[in-house]
Amino acid sequence: MKLADLKCIVTGGGSGMGKHFSLALCRAGAKVAAFDIEEKGLTALKGEAAGAPGELRTYTVNVADEAQVVAGVERAWNELGSLNALVNNAGIFRDGLLVKTDKATGKVSGKLSREQWQAVLDVDLTGPFLMTRELCARMIDQKVSPGVIVNISSVSRHGNMGQSNYSAAKAGLVADTKLWSMELARYGIRVAAIAPGFIRTPILEGMRPEMLEKMVSGVPLRRLGEPDEIFAGIRFIVECDYFTGRCLDIDGGLVL
């Protein structure tokens, strides 16, 4: 497949890496449906995409809400004249240790809450499940082929302290990538994943300099990755028609 041939949904498409992916695809000539929960980010995205050779449409969708996903996919399908690609990028953090103790007394002072756990699982794992299910059901029913799904996982899928919820979701997403690739291959739909390391986004750039420096010191390449380096992985997956069921680690050699 070629980037210019894509009619692609990008979730979390109004900010961070998702915004970069939406713009890069649109500038490559693709038709892009950017889904995001924040309407303000989508409005800014439309302004930045003006004049690009592709087409950009925006949709306010919470990927953890089944009804919104069903309605959003249907609307994007109708307005773009079908769809053949999806980048499952939307994600959130609700970090916390499983059990936290008071340094002075050694007593338990906090626990990772059920709400923290569930919020991340809902967006980062259930969201991709709902999006992939709804898009692929339509593609199969309408005999749209070839197609490609790109799941954005994380280096944290190997397990990162303070991220029980996020690590579980991102590990599960890679497992589903392999599973879905086998189930959907007969329909001409490929499924692959990318596991970014520490990437230059507004969230990381907002960290205290000493914290960011400590984080980067663990990366063999001694720097943050750039969003365009992750997009290079998306381009490879889209354009290499023999790639499916695998996860690309784009993390500067980081080992957690």
CA distance 170 to 33: 23
Element (H, E) at 143: none
**Which residues, listed in sequence order, are joined to residue 193 by a DSSP beta bridge?**
151, 247
DSSP secondary structure string, 202-248? HHHHTS-HHHHHHHHHTSTT-S-B-HHHHHHHHHHHHH-TT--S-EE
Active site residue 187: no
What single DSSP character describes residue 91?
-
Residue 102 CA: distances (Å) to CA of 48, 105, 110: 48, 6, 9
**d(Cα 29, Cα 53) in Å, to the nearest integer?**
5
| Catalytic residue (choose from 59, 166, 187, 242) | 166
CB atoms within 10 A of CB 222: 10
**Which residues have a catalytic role annotated?**
166
